[in-house]
Structure 1
């Protein structure tokens, strides 16, 4: 039993080092120009170690995306819980709290933007990406709904709100990255606030 735990732990460490190396390589080279050899060299492993964990670069990216999403969702949940505990009672402050949990990340944006373009050329992969984005939005929206309910607003169409928030995040991220510290950063908060207001209504009674 103890031997099996050590093997499992070592395998997990190998997998994590490959995931960490892939993020660096993808961000620097672009998904389409990255190779398994580059990732293995960065992680300090052989191709055998790669193929014992992943079948392809696409599978590795999806595993990296899933890990990043779990971490982001945990941070969003913590931010929403903190906002409720603090008694946040206006949409603007709620939006500011939420955006603190999902900051614009240069490396992650470049990696996901290029992979999305790659997925658009592959129908099967595109369906996987769409399903995962829907799952992320579905996981985030209930917490936002709960906070809005405390503020006195309800969400008639949670799916539409989730899609709108993802679209605003992706669209404003590139603007903020192109002009760090510029007006796009402030406008990002403004736009998120307007989207939340547009997709929610005042609760009756």
Structure 2
């Protein structure tokens, strides 16, 4: 390989990655504004500043684009949660701090504080979930990825609760499902209420139930 080709290959790869990122960014905007069903490939490509051909050079379909968007957004949320868990481990003093509901409330509040843009993602994800229910091939892939996310979430909340000297009395995977469902219910209530800042409202609603719920699902380690 010549020096010129060695430079060109990474450059082309970088350009392709930037193109994909712009398409994913555009998809997020278009999906959240118009809905997944109404959003066309042409609308996404135009919003990203590309042609239909450029879209198909990077993604096979609108569904494929959604999965790329989901991978990014879920990854960001899990990364934020991981940061919160790691920070908690640095300051935790389970030998000093009592294991009570107030301690769990502080822990849950720290986890929720780092989450952002959940309203928009909740709406897009909800639409795709309905779409997946009508397409078995998409449903299998969607369900498989949601399972992987639940496994990762279970690992993180297990580490988080260990920082206060506790462990779950149920399978952490089951607890992860309960936590996710409770938070999604809070998001739904916040959005339907019509408040301007649904993210903050959802956090308030979740804090009314999650700490007490989690406290009843843990025991001293």
Give TM-score scaled by structure 1 length: 0.92
- Corresponding residue number in structure 2 for 1:158: 172
The partner residue of 1:141 within 141, 154, 159 is: 154
| In structure 2, distance between residues paired with 1:198 and 1:55 | 46
1:109-128, aligned counterparts within 5 Å? 109-128=122-141
Gaps of 5+ in 2: 1-5, 98-102
- Corresponding residue number in structure 2 for 1:187: 205
Aligned partners of 1:157 and 1:199 also within 8 Å: no
Which segments of structure 1 move beyond 6 Å, counting only runs of 4 or more? Answer: none
Whether 1:170 and 2:175 are equivalent positions in the alignment is no
Aligned partners of 2:157 and 2:176 also within 8 Å: no
Aligned partners of 2:112 and 2:203 also within 8 Å: no
| In structure 2, distance between residues paired with 1:17 and 1:146 | 35
Number of aligned pairs?
203
- Corresponding residue number in structure 2 for 1:70: 75
Gaps of 5+ in 1: none
Deviations 1:48-107 (A, max 9, x none): 111111000000000100011111111100011111212265211110011112246222
- Corresponding residue number in structure 2 for 1:26: 31
| In structure 1, distance between residues paired with 2:9 and 2:90 | 43
Give TM-score scaled by structure 2 length: 0.85
